[in-house]
A and B are shown apart, each in its own frame.
Chain A
Amino acid sequence: MINEPALNGMALTEHDRSEPLLRSGNSNCGGCGMSNLMQMLRRAAADRELKMVIPACCAAVTGGNFPESAYSIPTIMSTFASAAPVATGVASVAQLNGEETRVVCLAGDGGTYDIGMGSLSAAAERNEDILYICYDNEIYGNTGGQRSSATPAGATTTSTPGGKQETKKDIIGIMAAHRIPYVASISLAHIDDTLRKLQFALDARGFRFLHVLSPCPTGWKSEPAMGIELVRLAVRSGLFPVFEVFDGSRYVINVEPEFSREALMMYLSLQRRFRRSGVTEESLRPSIEHYWNYLRLMSGRIVPARKNI
């Protein structure tokens, strides 16, 4: 099988995996951000040996029915709250046997922010040799779209029909507070940054945590083809900061937003989930500014370094 040059020739196709991590014919919705993530992970992983742990989430369903599997690597589907502990066992045995296997958790926001938070925190505290990737669609997708603590304020879900009142949990802040080697947020609209972070996180040892904003046309009530654009708008408006934290202390802002009012307005208007609650770019502005003040303080970058990215 010949690999076509991908991502404008940026990916090292000669070392690419001959097979996608997530095979075609899987049951993901069209426009699913997790599908894009798996494509990028394939590029980043290249010929590295991987094992994957997937708790209950869309990725568990996407795997398909026994005995076929949509995943081209050894994978175990864990219980909802157990991705990090099961990965701990897998990684420990790999370590005992001197294997180079990279153990990857692929978990949704429900399994990360909510039910799996305790066991995730514990594995991070023990600094287990795991790459934990949270693909965050800001909703319980498998069960039909209920709120999670990753759902942003103003979003309508089946369990918050009038729009969620509470703001989204700061998962990066929580994970960085564990002082683990690497924490980063990933924008699928910034593929060079995505690839670099995935590669870095695959190579690093100890507990690594990646947070990926994963567009979900089904839950966000948006056009499948608009997913990547929505992520770009979230980044441009400052709503989704793209940054990384090394050892819980060194904060690096990777993408400097324009804080564009138009971008924020478009982000909200292109998703029907924001229609009912009355959330506007004006109502979101203070919390965006507040978070960026915090981020500037932590990164030591008081003045934006770059513009127009």
Chain B
Amino acid sequence: MAKVERKRTLNDESLHEFLREMLLIRRFEEKVEERFRAGELPGFLHVDIGQEAVAVGVCRAMEEGDIFASTHRAHGHALASGTHPNAVMAELYGKVEGCSHGYGGSMHLYDVEHGNFGANAVIGGGLPAVVGAGLAFRMRDEPRVAVAFFGDGATNIGTFHESLNLAQLWKTKTIFVCENNHWAESTPGWQHSPVWDDMSKRALAYDMRSIKVDGQDVQAVWEAAQDALEHARGGDGPVFLDVETYRMHGHYIGDPQVYRTREDRDNAARHDPIERLRDRLGVSDDEFASLDAEATGIVEAAVEFAKNGTDPQPEDALRNVYA
């Protein structure tokens, strides 16, 4: 996994790289929407637009050997952790060159080499495994951490509670990254959780350390993730990252969002993490246009790569069932 910084502060160069990465995710996701609507991508997809700073901030704080479990909204995590855009795009096209070789798809991106032990399409489904991996790291005394990404919707399912309890009880080398975008599919936070506006109360119930962070501020996310990872890595126990973020698009591509007010969507748009970082760094229009062109070029190339990829043979479906 690409290591950006060990220090607790980021220089402008690193932040520029974060901007480049976030922009790449944004353009990637926009392209995915476009190609899905054009009928080129099978299945159904969930894009990360609005939540790029969480993916980049957390993944760039991880170190070589750290692993993570992702969610149905997985593209950003995969890209930010170092999986080549070609491999992610090829997976979405169901090609052999895809990061899961066509077996997984959008909701099951894997890339073990970059620490990605799988995106999960069952809400909360990947959490217990992250506890188990963190337990293994502890038992073997390895300086590694297992990271779980999940949304606010996952905080109501049994695996979440059982996982937090066990992780804290056994002080596993685990961090829980709650991407609170205030929506469980179409159900708003206030309809699904009594503590929807302060998820750290969930961690409190398990006596777990929590850190609240603005998920639209990539620097803040990176710093919080650094803090959490070091805490867990040192064997001091798991940490709950309570990340406030915004889902700028629908739950899935094509979601008409009939359940969502114009005001709410406008509010999310006002919390664009890319605009925010751009302003902070004082990136000029020309410079931004150049970054944008670079990201767009990478994404276009990824689509070309994917379209020219190899289709699996039908009977390949019978491989990889057993080790």
- Same assembly: no
A-side residues, CB < 8 A to B, are: none
